[in-house]
Structure 1
Amino acid sequence: MCMEDKRGNCGQSDMTGECVERSGYGQSFRRSEHGSSVQRYRYGQAGESISPGERSEADYCSVCGDRIKPGGSIRSGASRKPGKRTMPGRLAAVSLALMLAAMAGCSSTGQPYVQQTVPAAQLEANPDEADNPAAASANEPFTLRVLSNTPLEVPDLNNRFWTRIQQMFKVRLQAEFVPLDDYDRRLRLVLASGDLPEAMVLNSVNDSVFNKAVKQGMFWDLNELAGDLSQFPNLKYNISATAWNYTKIEGRHYVIPRARPLLDGGLHWRPDLFLKHGLSQPGTLDEYVGALKQIVDANPNKHYIGLHFEESFYTAFGGFEPVYNSEGGLVHKYLTDSYTEFVRWYRHVYGMGLMSKEFAILKGSDKENMFRSDKALTYERNMYHSYTYDQELKKIDPGYEAGVITYLTGPRGHSGEYGIAFTGGFVIARSVPKDKALRILHMYDQAADPRVTDQLLRGFEGIHFDMVNGKRVPTQLAGKEISNAVMQIFPNADDEWQKVVNFAAPAAWNEKMKATASTLYEAERAVDPFRVIRSAAWLKEWPKVEDDYIAIRTQAVMGLIPMSEYEEFVRKYREKPEFKLAFKQFADSYKLMF
């Protein structure tokens, strides 16, 4: 549910699903309760009550069209605004929803954005600190406004895990959690507004809007703030030099990398169904697709989706190999002949009836939900999620099973996804005073201590795990309170098994998954260079073309146009001067990064 704020923009919801009226960072919120009043919140500090009658006029949300009841809450099932119509056709409706969500900051997945704070009394806050950051000493809690994503459920910042974490860091978090699928859209909206939180997480350092914001001086240059990081040894030495190098922007450090290991993503599959149909674990893409076809055809009533469109499969078609033009420019993968062959292969897979007709608009959360609910047979994500998927599938049928394949070989490579030492990172707004920015950096340094990272990942003894015969045994509370949302707030030290081990799983399961994950080392150690290299010209020009490209690629995969039409589109843009400039910049970046 959503509601309009005073500027006519759709707002965000609280954890109960009730709607919140917001007017931006640092301003007040009106939260609908189940009683007769609406409380005013200024970053978690309750103030005076507001009478529900204060907003008595009949308003309608510009996004969902539902009527807003007096007091600022939306009525479930309320009548739509008179004359409100829907656009014909699924794609048109989706396009409209995405457009409105991008304009208003609403979640296009239907999940609400959630603003959470921790009561000041809970952390014994200094009341003067909010007005005078310099007054906050290392022994006093400080308030930190953050923008973060949440891949799973929104965490409860008041539970035992998050309370202990905040006490340990002496911080009172005021966090806006945004569903992962909608985070980049929300981030761009915040950056465009110029009204930034004090710290935020990035999914990618290659975002064009973020890079523009960096050039506009909206974030602290860490070289200016902290020199060579000698006063922050955990950040300097427990996050790899590779990660620090890959996250440079024009030779400067603005981003604290989110350290990630080599062993990370995997192909989640259904070994139980393969066994049931007498099929062995596949080793090639063709074997996998052929087996999926047999399973789908043998279970017509299930309506299984065999495969989604997964960008990572491109490396099996030559994606590890840089492609240069006659002028020495490194051609972006979308405009290479090898990527065209990848699209042609997916056209074949689609023609086999293995893909959803809506594959182009499925979000990561859609794909994940389909896999964990026995509606899809494949999903790409971090390996440790396999335990969760296995448990969810067993709720449907105890005989169901989830597993991980680390790589499949293709005509010109393999689909294995080695980590690149980082994924995105954290930035501090330049509007934060220097002394507070340093306080934040010291907190990040503390988080990158391996012992502290261990607590962020596993929780606290006696609460989230018990020691039995020298081994940690997770409690039921671990699965309820700990999630990787904490890694979207704090940096971490390097850990080889971070994305393999599930700390809610039994030790035997984790040892088995370690063995599975280690099979990736059998494959060539290589990465898609476009996960790392960047070009200012590409960031400027590609957004103008991207929608058209995705549309024609989708039509090619679905067989709606001949492949020659797709190939002509690729040739056309490959020869444009602005993209040739981008290719030259990619080539220069490649030399620096590899």
Structure 2
Amino acid sequence: MMKQSNWRVSGMLALACVLAAAGGCSGGETKQTQDNPAAAAGSSKPLSIQMFAGLYNDAPDMNNAYWAEWQKKTNSKLTVEWVPAGDLNTKLDLLLASGDLPEVVAVPDFKRPTLISAIKNGAFWDLTPFLGDFSKYPNLKNNTVKDAFKYRMVDGKIYSLPGSRSRVDIGIKMRKDWLDKLNIPEPATLDEYEAALRKIADGDPDGNGKKDTLGLIGNGVIINDGDTAFAAAFGAVEPTYNAEGGLIYTNLTPQYSDMVAWFRKLYEEGALAKEFSVMKRTQAEELFKTGRAASYARSIWWDKEWENEIAKTGQPNPTIVNLTLKGPKGYAIDLAIGGGGGFLISKKVPEAKVKQLLDYFEMTASKEISDFSYYGLPDVHYKVVDGQKVLTDQGIKEVNTTSKGVGVLAYEKWGKVISASGNKAYNDAKIKEVEKYDEIGLVDPFRYLISDSWINVWSKYENEWRANVTKAIVGQISMDEYRSFVDKINNLPETKTAYKEFAEHYKTFK
């Protein structure tokens, strides 16, 4: 159902597409599309692009108003295999192992070990000589977050283009209206947060006469999007070195183990949903936006839309707040690097088409295309209310996270905070709610560090580690057993070699 069409075309057909779309690769046209991206539309046959990308909403109709206009503005014809977010890394690993790659692979994590291995094995184009000094690609140079290309280098070369996004992204959400109803002050520390979750889970904040409200929900290792935020509160994203001077991987630090122990306590108290380990992202989202759960960690820009959805259940005046929680060793705030995802071009793509694809991505990084990706078409997807673009019902359906997944986009400081469903007053208040995040939050250094040795280590132990995290939280193994497992990995000779490589790479960013 997710697959729009088959990308496995013959070599002759692929060549024909390239020849038909040839031309328009000069620096002059790049400058023209920088000033007015739409000017390129209709100037030549649309560029056919086969892409693998993440699905974060319902599968889109590529012929709807939004996608028709995107393809018109970028003079492209997209054939996308949309992969549900919860399955994305698994499907990516299978795709890389098969070697049967589409022209463009969009990834959520450009430093995933299996991806780095594929890069080193020649699966993708080295874009460094194409990009050069970026004189032909001013949007990619000037409209992306600082150091976007430095972060993503592999052996000093650029293989991926950034999916440029806000550094302030994930918020640990809580139902403020429920806190008020139960006379619970807004939590400012992890201890207060834990106590609030217990009271909400033991109470009846939705007024249905049942004690069936869930506390913290999520999916993935623990709660997925919020894992690193909570880890930051325990000091796990601060550089931690072993006795040999190697930089320990975030998830295997003693501080991360302390966080696992804390989640174990939440689970025992009923503050962490019992189903956390088997819950899909779509299920977690549905539980929260139907008013079943107290807390969830996701992008801040969802708040207004989800408040509107909760209101449909009959719960009066639902209000979501993103907390600023102080932990024992820091704040529970996880900053992105402003472009954690990336776009890679398969080495099977002819060189002439690589240049055309780079022109496409240069166009998507323009202010005009980026603004369109957030709001769509006037009067169709949004209306202007008090100077703020506010999405219509059609806009809410068609303009979303998924619709931003096929282009680089220009960097927006509050791009993952401002809700296109909210008015100016709402969004001003939301920015004020999280305005300190960029100052007191931290970036996990392992979002950009690379170690050749680590690729082999983590590919062997990641799944077992994930399983042991769950076992430790639900009480199937003791915390001592969990820590012993972590120590076993950390003391492997190949792990210590990897940690030294991480430490050396980290020095280049200081």
What is the TM-score normalised by the length of structure 2? 0.88
Note the alpha carbon deviations across 1:266-294, whole angstroms, 9 max, x for none: 01211111111011111011101101111
Q: 1:405 to 1:469 in 2, by over 3 A?
A: closer
The answer to whether residue 463 in structure 2 is matched with residue 547 in structure 1 is yes
Residue matched to 2:420:
503
How far residue 592 of structure 1 moved from its aligned partner, in angstroms, is 1.9
Q: 1:328 to 1:519 in 2, by over 3 A?
A: closer
CA contact (8 A) 1:150 1:180 kept: yes
Extract unaligned runs of 5+ from structure 2: 25-42
1:572 counterpart letter in structure 2: K
What does 1:423-442 correspond to in 2, within 5 Å?
Answer: 423-442=340-359
SS of the residue 2:369 aligns to? helix
What does 1:300-339 correspond to in 2, within 5 Å?
Answer: 301-308=210-217, 309-310=222-223, 311-312=227-228, 313-339=230-256
The answer to whether residue 8 in structure 2 is matched with residue 25 in structure 1 is yes
How far residue 473 of structure 1 moved from its aligned partner, in angstroms, is 4.6
Residue matched to 1:295:
200
Residue matched to 1:130:
17
Residue matched to 2:40:
none
Residue matched to 2:454:
538
2:200 counterpart letter in structure 1: I
Greater C-alpha Rg: 1
Separation in 2, partners of 1:26, 1:232: 30
CA contact (8 A) 1:129 1:136 kept: no
SS of the residue 1:460 aligns to? coil
The answer to whether residue 167 in structure 2 is matched with residue 262 in structure 1 is yes
2:382 to 462, 465, 468: 465
Q: 1:587 to 1:192 in 2, by over 3 A?
A: same
Q: 1:556 to 1:242 in 2, by over 3 A?
A: same
Note the alpha carbon deviations across 1:108-163, whole angstroms, 9 max, x for none: xxxxxxxxxxxxxxxxxxx9952635645552212111111121112221111211
CA contact (8 A) 2:123 2:346 kept: yes
SS of the residue 2:394 aligns to? helix
Q: 1:475 to 1:535 in 2, by over 3 A?
A: same
SS of the residue 1:396 aligns to? coil
Separation in 2, partners of 1:292, 1:136: 60
How far residue 567 of structure 1 moved from its aligned partner, in angstroms, is 2.0
How far residue 174 of structure 1 moved from its aligned partner, in angstroms, is 1.0
CA contact (8 A) 2:3 2:80 kept: no
CA contact (8 A) 1:418 1:525 kept: yes
Q: 1:412 to 1:220 in 2, by over 3 A?
A: same
- Tell me whether 291-300 or 428-437 shows the greater mean CA deviation: 291-300
Quote the RMSD (CA, aligned, Å).
2.4
Determine what percentage of the aligned residue pairs are the same residue.
Answer: 32
The answer to whether residue 401 in structure 2 is matched with residue 484 in structure 1 is yes
Q: 1:220 to 1:270 in 2, by over 3 A?
A: same
1:215 to 98, 117, 120: 120
Separation in 2, partners of 1:266, 1:143: 37
SS of the residue 2:44 aligns to? coil
CA contact (8 A) 1:317 1:339 kept: yes
How far residue 406 of structure 1 moved from its aligned partner, in angstroms, is 4.2
The answer to whether residue 437 in structure 2 is matched with residue 527 in structure 1 is no
Separation in 1, partners of 2:49, 2:460: 36
2:381 counterpart letter in structure 1: H
Q: 1:333 to 1:479 in 2, by over 3 A?
A: closer
Separation in 2, partners of 1:470, 1:554: 47
Note the alpha carbon deviations across 1:569-588, whole angstroms, 9 max, x for none: 22222211011011111111
SS of the residue 1:132 aligns to? helix
Note the alpha carbon deviations across 1:486-517, whole angstroms, 9 max, x for none: 22101111111110112232222222212212
Extract unaligned runs of 5+ from structure 1: 1-11, 28-42, 44-126
1:325 counterpart letter in structure 2: N
Separation in 2, partners of 1:431, 1:405: 44
Separation in 2, partners of 1:264, 1:573: 31
1:248 to 134, 144, 153: 153
1:26 counterpart letter in structure 2: V
Separation in 2, partners of 1:131, 1:444: 17
Residue matched to 1:119:
none
CA contact (8 A) 1:248 1:254 kept: yes
Residue matched to 1:561:
477
- Structure (1/2) with the larger helix percentage: 2
- Tell me whether 374-383 or 549-558 shows the greater mean CA deviation: 549-558
Residue matched to 2:102:
197
Separation in 2, partners of 1:419, 1:307: 22
Q: Which structure exhibits the higher relative contact order, with contacts defined as CA atoms closer than 8 Å and separated by 6 or more residues?
A: 2
Residue matched to 1:417:
334
CA contact (8 A) 1:133 1:435 kept: no
What is the TM-score normalised by the length of structure 1? 0.76
Separation in 1, partners of 2:152, 2:474: 37
